[in-house]
Amino acid sequence: MPEINCTPIGFVSSPFKERGDAPRQGRLTEEISTITLEDAYLPAMLGLEAGADIFVFCWFDRSDRTVLQSRRDDTLPIKGVFANRSPNRPNPIALTLVKIEEIKENRIIVSGLEALDGTPVLDIKPYSAEFDSPKK
């Protein structure tokens, strides 16, 4: 398999210090987190505005990359990690839809991010109802 290299564009500062602190999904929290971007990526922020929804792609660096099956709790059947939202997976790339609350210099303050404090951020993309909703 070819190796793929990613470089973080920034890091998360959040109230979630350990895995048990974070909610299962970002939409289950109103907590505020900050994404601090590396200075080289400041031009990429052009067009971001408070109130906008964005997707944040994170690298869940504290996940177990050997896990291929899991279940949310003992009452549910085991599923492969491609059929659930476990943070443990071969490549722990997290995708969370968040709301921008404020932008200050190289910091994007957001609500609804379940990432742990210090989590690397790989990318940010705008949400578009036109393209990010299932076809009817």
The predicted-structure confidence for 79-96, as pLDDT tens digits, reads as follows 999 998 888 999 999 999
Q: Which has more confidence, 63 or 136?
A: 63
Shortest CA distance to 67 belongs to which of 54, 46, 82, 45? 82
Cα gap 86→63, rounded to integer Å = 9
Q: Is 32 part of any domain? A: yes
In a domain, 16, yes or no: yes
| Encoded amino acid at 70, one letter | S
**Domain for residue 69, yes or no?**
no
Q: Is 76 a member of any domain?
A: no
Residue labelled with tokens 């793929």:
4
In percent, the amount of the chain with pLDDT more than 70 equals 95
> Does residue 99 form part of some domain?
yes
The domain total for the chain is 1
Measured between alpha carbons, how far is 117 from 32 in angstroms, rounded to an integer? 11
Contact 119, 58 (CB under 8 A): yes
